[in-house]
Amino acid sequence: MRFKMISFLIFNFLVICSFNLVFNIYSENVGYVLYCPCMGRFGNQADQFLGALGFAKGIGRTLVLPPWVEYRYGESKSIQVPFDTYFQVEPLQEYIPVMTMEQFMEKLAPTIWPPNKRISFCYIPRGGTGNCNAKEGSPFGPFWDTFEVDFVGSEFYEPLHYDTYHRSMAKQWIAKYPIDKWPVLAFTGAPGSFPVQLENRHLHKYLKWSSNILEQAEKFVKENLPKGAFVGIHLRNGIDWMRACEHVNHSPNLFSAPQCLGYRNEKGVATHEMCLTSRDVIIRQLKRLLKKMKEVKSVFVASDHNHMIEDFNKHLRRMNVSVHKLPESNPHVELAILGLSNHFIGNCISSFSAFVKRERDTMNLPSSFWAFPNEKIFRDEL
Ligand SMILES: Nc1nc2c(ncn2[C@@H]2O[C@H](COP(=O)(O)OP(=O)(O)O)[C@@H](O)[C@H]2O)c(=O)[nH]1
Ligand SMILES: [Mg+2]
């Protein structure tokens, strides 16, 4: 009888202990990383998102998934689009715990991040004010205003940085900002680099289109492209890009160029032709691919400006392929369609192309780049 009583008490004690342990792990010891994707448009934000994911994993915190920041023509304030409009949350949980910013602000912020505890993190003071100035200008102000966040102070984390793969950086973050004292680290900008760090590229496999985007992409392919294989191409040629490409000669690894040239330019330097490929080279390169891929029935063109549909119709007439684009620009659906193609030709310098290339790499699907390797090397290979 007595023995039964004692074992019952011990059992209860163990149950309570393990409950407490679990409770502590999931409540008090959970730390969060928040940030504003305040730099660049979608491609840049996606690169930095992978960095933020790797960073949160490195320092053992939950990543709060920020909305995507978008800019509408003629509007001075940025627009915030919830993360899960474009991507599924669930697959990311396989890598680390995540939650959307909407959920965080509604469910957790009132208790673990009340208004008087809202400190913004930046490397050094910004804009000569002595603080992080986290809400100065667009998208900084509109981003935090979306969630009615104001900051009461700044924290400068210099000399720490986001690369948690080297120099015991993760340990230093954990030591300097323990979760019990700093449950929330809210960064003024993304805690991730642009272009994406090599070590974080593979994290793209956790980034899966929302069913809404994927269904639109599949529907377009099914209803508009002839049955059979298709090639997807990205033509980045708007006015902002023309200007950006002027810098290519003194930036051998401009923007996303490491995706084809290597992070240390192992495979050459960026050229103007790779950045803003001429009409003739585009047509020649596409024709060469179509000659090799006899099964291809159509070409899908994504572009921010000139889709060159007439040029293609003229020059590909004898090749028996049709050429298509979306009736209206829709960057995310276009990206998803490019991801579904049998072969993708992208712009090595563009982070918009880089998104597609990474996604395809995770599925072992083939991709190539405009004007890379250059045509002379191409010819030597043939
Ligand atoms: N619809 C559409 N928009 C594009 C395309 N290429 C670029 N854009 C737009 O231009 C922006 C370019 O910025 P970003 O994504 O950072 O890519 P990057 O500037 O090429 O590195 C995209 O986010 C899109 O809004 C395209 O093929 N189709
Ligand atoms: Mg950009």
Q: Which of 41, 329, 349, 359 to mutate to test the pocket of ligand 1 (most atoms within 8 A of CB)?
A: 41
Taking the centre of ligand 2 as the mean of its atom positions, its distance from the CA of residue 280, in whole angstroms, is 25
Q: Do 154 and 237 reside in the same domain of the chain?
A: no
Taking the centre of ligand 2 as the mean of its atom positions, its distance from the CA of residue 370, in whole angstroms, is 18
Q: Does any domain span residue 246?
A: yes
Q: Do 127 and 229 reside in the same domain of the chain?
A: no
Sheet containing 119-122: which strands, arranged edge to edge?
98-100, 62-65, 32-35, 184-187, 119-122, 153-156
Q: Do 365 and 244 reside in the same domain of the chain?
A: yes
Q: Does any domain span residue 18?
A: no
Q: What is the CATH number of the domain that holds 43?
A: 3.40.50.11340
Q: Do 189 and 278 reside in the same domain of the chain?
A: no
Q: Which of 86, 329, 352 to mutate to test the pocket of ligand 1 (most atoms within 8 A of CB)?
A: 352
Low-confidence ranges of the chain (pLDDT < 50): 17, 19-26, 381-382
Q: What would the two tokens of residue 26 be?
A: 């999931």
Q: Does any domain span residue 253?
A: yes
Question: Mind giving me the DSSP string for 298-325?
Answer: EEEEEESS---HHHHHHHTGGGT-EEE-
pLDDT of residue 21: 45
Any ligand 1 atom below 6 A from CB of 271 = no
Domain boundary among 200, 230, 246: 200
Q: Do 227 and 186 reside in the same domain of the chain?
A: no
Residue nearest atom 5 of ligand 1, based on CA coordinates: 304
Q: Do 149 and 175 reside in the same domain of the chain?
A: yes
Total structural domains in the chain?
A: 2
Q: Do 249 and 172 reside in the same domain of the chain?
A: no
Q: Does any domain span residue 205?
A: no
Residues 6+ apart with CB under 8 A from 280: none
Any ligand 1 atom below 6 A from CB of 334 = yes
Q: Show the domain range for 263.
A: 210-381
Q: Does any domain span residue 9?
A: no
Q: Does any domain span residue 251?
A: yes
Q: Do 90 and 190 reside in the same domain of the chain?
A: yes
Domain boundary among 200, 218, 233: 200
Q: What is the CATH number of the domain that holds 341?
A: 3.40.50.11350
Q: Do 269 and 214 reside in the same domain of the chain?
A: yes
Domain boundary among 148, 168, 200: 200
Any ligand 1 atom below 6 A from CB of 141 = no
Q: Does any domain span residue 126?
A: yes
What's the helix, strand, coil split of the chain in %, to 5?
45, 15, 40
Q: Do 249 and 173 reside in the same domain of the chain?
A: no
Q: Do 349 and 230 reside in the same domain of the chain?
A: yes
Question: Mind giving me the DSSP string for 49-105?
Answer: HHHHHHHHHHTT-EEEEPPEEE--TT-SS-EEE-HHHHB-SHHHHTTS-EEEHHHII
Q: Do 241 and 191 reside in the same domain of the chain?
A: no
Q: Which residues surround ligand 2, an ion (CB under 5 A)?
A: 40, 44
Q: Does any domain span residue 63?
A: yes
